């Protein structure tokens, strides 16, 4: 039996896990969410969700993954089967493979935009575009607007390059591929982000702009609290969603990475380290770049419009226009987009790993065969969100795999770990090899608050809008075919994964 | 920026910086066995489920 890989160093694990969590959302989604949901007041529900949902779920996923790894299984079907001796358990684990793969089918495309824009930022002057509207039109054309196939040639080229880079990293394995990427990529990302923060904090208002259009008021745009917003349930849901998304809990990726730990490696401090490193990037660095810079150049009203237009427009239309107006803009523009690419790359390899681990651990495939198969599949499956981008296919996959699916999988794993496997056993498992003991109140948070909150979020969604979303009530008829294609793709992925799980367990029984 | 904005930013940054710093010091100074990748781990327990099954 070939030896299962292990992480080479503790810092490498922390950086790889932080790389898994740090993504495009830290720099684009968070500042927009904060600005749209009460400013500084948003941080109150954000920290509550971090304490009650994000950090406890991360501890559970790390502990489950490490336990699975000591039994040579790193994906959710094997881990769930270990925790719950019920025939259904392994099939529920299919979600832990399909959700990250589903998210990857569109995430890779967005990641490829960052790579493309890092090159474009060096030649913006030659393209002759300056205003946000110019860049919005450029982004639309890049995304395939007006093209017969729904994708531009240059967009497709960078997508193919992105697939190739991901494949190359993952073919190196855990220690020599993913960990090496994290050890080089994450410090580089920190340095680039800190460099951008310094640049933004030293920005002078453009000539002719009123003096109040400065970076301090730009920070105020994000941090000045609107305490009345705390009475709005939507703000609390937005905060919970952001915490979920940013820590990458509920994907199955943390569980899979943790399976490459040794049995007695600490998960309490190590998990918290990765989570806090992600928070440092999001709250301190991410919030201090895009929105404050937009405020300096566009003023209050312009920033309101930019924040309303969403994360993609902020990152790929407003930011290029800002960089063109600042001294050294081409260089800082390159840094911004390359930073987004590194953030995306460290996340995308993490999202692909559960499928690779499943093929290796449960079906006995060689590493190269598993990596090759997963990336060929991803290349092909990504065509649905890419070609159906204008038809809403990307949004549809994001909604089911990247929003509802995450909460559902997190609920399933917390119930299996804390209620079926047992809260006391789970608590002991988390503390195997732990450097510090968690305060006992976290036991009750994990056992009661986390699953109840997750169930509440899902129930509220199902009650308020579930059926309308399922039957696409607000989607115009002409946009429905691509959305159905996206749904069928996800259903097909689940069906194939269930069939493979069945085959893997038949193989297990044969060998015992 | 208002005073409340400064306070919320300061408190949020403070919590995150203190926790991140504490964690990083622990990670970089820990003397756990995984700092020694060549250590033999065969003797380590596998939890209450016993050793992993041989799949081949």
Q: How far is CA A135 from the centre of its chain?
A: 25
What b/e string do you get for A195-204 counting C-beta neighbours within 10 Å, with b at 16 or more?
ebbebbeebe
| Angstrom distance (rounded) from CA A424 to CA B24 | 29
| Angstrom distance (rounded) from CA A263 to CA A282 | 31
Residue A278 tokens, joined: 């992600």
What b/e string do you get for A244-281 counting C-beta neighbours within 10 Å, with b at 16 or more?
bbbbbbbbbbbbbbbbbbbbbbbbbbbbbbbbbbbbbb
Asked if residue A295 lies in contact with residue A200, where contact means CB atoms within 8 angstroms, the answer is no
Task: Decide if A265 and B32 are in contact by the 8 Å CB cutoff.
Answer: yes
* ipTM greater than 0.90: no
Q: What is the DSSP letter of A439?
A: P
- pLDDT over threshold 70, residue B55: no
Average pLDDT over residues B4-33: 88
Task: Decide if A220 and B23 are in contact by the 8 Å CB cutoff.
Answer: no
Task: Decide if B1 and A217 are in contact by the 8 Å CB cutoff.
Answer: yes
pLDDT of residue B45: 46
A82 touches chain B (CB under 8 A): yes
Burial of A236 (0-12, 13-18, 19+ CB in 10 A): buried
Looking at chain B, which residue has its C-alpha nearest residue A69? B52
| Angstrom distance (rounded) from CA A178 to CA A166 | 10
Name the residue among B1, B19, B30 with its Cβ closest to that of A220: B1
Looking at chain B, which residue has its C-alpha nearest residue A14? B27
Smallest Cα distance from A215 to chain B, Å: 10
Give contacts of B26 with chain A, Cβ < 8 Å: 269, 273, 435
pLDDT of residue B56: 45
pLDDT of residue B30: 72
pLDDT of residue A512: 72
pLDDT of residue A275: 96
Sole residue written with tokens 């720099």: A27
A390 touches chain B (CB under 8 A): no
Give contacts of B4 with chain A, Cβ < 8 Å: 40, 224-225
How far apart, in Å, are the Cα atoms of B15 and each of A13, A55, A81, A314, A350? 23, 14, 38, 28, 27
Average pLDDT over residues B37-43: 48
B43 pLDDT tier (thresholds 50, 70, 90): very low
pLDDT of residue B38: 53
- Give the H/E segment covering residue A375: helix A367-381
Task: Decide if A264 and B49 are in contact by the 8 Å CB cutoff.
Answer: no
A366 touches chain B (CB under 8 A): no
Specify the CATH number for A10-511; select among 3.90.1420, 3.30.2010, 2.60.40, 1.20.1740: 1.20.1740
Smallest Cα distance from A348 to chain B, Å: 24
B20 touches chain A (CB under 8 A): yes
A422 touches chain B (CB under 8 A): no
Name the residue among A7, A75, A52 with its Cα closest to residue A453. A52
| Angstrom distance (rounded) from CA A494 to CA A500 | 10
Q: Which residues of chain A have pLDDT under 70?
A: 1-2, 125-128
- pLDDT over threshold 60, residue B41: no
Residue A332 tokens, joined: 């800082």
A506 touches chain B (CB under 8 A): no
């Amino acid at each position: 039996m070939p030896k299962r890989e292990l992480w080479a160093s503790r810092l490498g694990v922390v950086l790889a896990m932080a790389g898994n969590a740090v993504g495009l959302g830290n720099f684009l989604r968070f500042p927009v969410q904060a600005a749209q949901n009460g400013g500084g007041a948003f941080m109150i529900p954000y920290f509550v969700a971090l304490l009650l949902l994000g950090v406890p779920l991360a501890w559970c996923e790390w502990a489950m993954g490490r336990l699975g790894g000591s039994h040579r299984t790193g994906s959710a079907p094997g881990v769930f089967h270990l925790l719950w001796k019920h025939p259904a358990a392994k099939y529920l684990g299919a979600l832990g493979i399909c959700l990250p793969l589903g998210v990857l089918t569109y995430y890779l495309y967005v990641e490829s935009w960052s790579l493309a824009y890092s090159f474009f930022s060096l030649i913006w002057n030659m393209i002759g575009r300056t205003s946000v509207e110019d860049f919005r039109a450029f982004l639309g054309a890049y995304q395939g607007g007006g093209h017969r196939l729904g994708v531009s040639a240059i967009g497709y080229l960078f997508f193919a390059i992105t697939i190739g880079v991901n494949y190359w990293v993952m073919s190196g394995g855990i220690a020599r591929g993913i960990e090496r990427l994290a050890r080089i990529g994450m410090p580089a990302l920190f340095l680039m982000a800190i460099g951008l923060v310094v640049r933004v904090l030293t920005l002078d208002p453009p000539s002719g702009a009123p003096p109040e259009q400065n970076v301090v008021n730009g920070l105020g745009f994000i941090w000045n609290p609107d305490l009345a917003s705390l009475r709005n349930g939507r703000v609390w849901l937005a905060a919970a969603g952001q915490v979920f998304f940013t820590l990458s809990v509920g994907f199955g990726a943390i569980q899979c990475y943790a399976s490459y730990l040794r049995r007695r490696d600490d998960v309490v401090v190590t998990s918290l380290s990765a989570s806090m490193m992600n928070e440092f990037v999001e709250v301190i660095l991410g919030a201090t770049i895009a929105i404050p810079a937009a405020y300096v150049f566009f003023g209050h009203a312009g920033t309101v419009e930019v924040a309303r237009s969403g994360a993609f427009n902020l990152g790929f239309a407003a930011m290029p226009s800002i960089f063109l107006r600042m001294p050294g803009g081409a260089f800082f523009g390159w840094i911004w987009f390359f930073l987004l690419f590194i953030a995306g790359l460290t996340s995308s390899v993490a999202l692909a790993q559960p499928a690779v681990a499943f093929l290796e651990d449960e079906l006995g495939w060689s590493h190269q065969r598993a990596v090759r198969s997963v990336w060929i599949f991803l290349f092909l499956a990504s065509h649905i969100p890419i070609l159906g981008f204008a038809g809403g296919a990307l949004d549809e996959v994001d909604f089911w795999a990247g929003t509802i699916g995450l909460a559902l999988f997190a609920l399933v794993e917390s119930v299996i770990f804390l209620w079926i496997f047992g809260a006391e056993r789970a608590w002991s498992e988390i503390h195997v090899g732990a450097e510090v003991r968690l305060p006992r109140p976290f036991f009750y948070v994990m056992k009661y608050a986390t699953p109840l909150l997750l169930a509440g979020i899902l129930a509220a969604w199902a009650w308020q809008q579930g059926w309308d979303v399922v039957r696409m009530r607000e989607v115009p008829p002409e946009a429905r075919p691509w959305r159905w294609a996206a749904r069928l793709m996800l259903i097909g992925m689940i069906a194939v994964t269930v069939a493979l799980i069945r085959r893997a367990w038949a193989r297990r029984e044969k060998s015992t | 920026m208002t005073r409340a904005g400064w306070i919320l930013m300061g408190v949020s940054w403070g919590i995150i910086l203190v926790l991140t710093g504490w964690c990083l010091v622990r990670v970089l100074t820990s003397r756990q066995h995984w700092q020694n990748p060549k250590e033999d781990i065969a003797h380590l327990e596998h939890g209450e489920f016993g050793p992993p099954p041989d799949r081949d």
